[in-house]
Amino acid sequence: MNILQINSSARSEGSFSTRIAKAVVERLRIDQPQAEVTVRDLGRAPHPMLEEATLQALFTPAEQRTPAQAERVALDDALIAEVQKADVLVLGVPMYNFSVPAQLKNWIDAISRAGVTFRYTEQGPEGLLKGKKAVVVQARGGVHRNSPTDTMTPYLKTILGFLGITEVEFVYAEGLSMGPEAEKNGLAAAYEQIEQAVSA
């Protein structure tokens, strides 16, 4: 089994989403001690955003790319290869200003490639990242679960599903900025959700 842990907190120390994502991976490894784990920390090593030069590189046939274009596309290729290889994705995702961190969005933009991770057919879009499961750990300062302010859960379900990853479980750590008691309860509740998320 191959596990891919994606951290997207801007914090290199003290990140709750990273810490809980790690706990999910450790729980997965109890059942699969031989599992190979790859950790990509988008906070420590930010992936470049999608801008015009990158789009041009992506839409240039491989054999016609300049060395700089080929180098840029290779960065995205590496992320795609990691996801393709993974059986389980564990995403650590803080809420930043009611959305996912820009670092995670850059990762999503990099792995969403027509003809490789999804394609359009006469029946509509088809995700090509099949047979994978995802566990998404969300850390939030406030409490948003099942409320209109939770834009992240529907978004992440939509994009992962679009890419073919339809088996998605969520772990919520909420109320983390609402005082020590709320933080303690929010973390305890998140750790309790791990078992269910992993065995679902």
Ligand X SMILES: Cc1cc2nc3c(=O)[nH]c(=O)nc-3n(C[C@H](O)[C@H](O)[C@H](O)COP(=O)(O)O)c2cc1C
Q: Which residues bind ligand X (CB under 6 A)?
A: 9, 11, 15-18, 94-98, 139-142, 176-177
| Closest among 13, 23, 15, 164 to 3, alpha carbons compared | 23
**In whole angstroms, how close is the CB of 20 to ligand X at the nearest point?**
8
Residue whose token pair is 């914090």: 11
**In whole angstroms, how close is the CB of 150 to ligand X at the nearest point?**
10
66 versus 177: smaller Cβ distance to ligand X: 177
Local structure of 125: helix, strand or coil: strand
141 versus 161: smaller Cβ distance to ligand X: 141
Pairing of strands 88-94, 2-7: parallel
**In whole angstroms, how close is the CB of 174 to ligand X at the nearest point?**
7
Token digits of residue 142: 């406030």
Question: How far is the CA of 125 from the CAs of 117, 119, 164, in angstroms?
Answer: 11, 6, 10
117 versus 138: smaller Cβ distance to ligand X: 138
| Residues 81, 100: Cα–Cα separation, whole Å | 22
**In whole angstroms, how close is the CB of 165 to ligand X at the nearest point?**
22
18 versus 117: smaller Cβ distance to ligand X: 18
| Residues 103, 99: Cα–Cα separation, whole Å | 11
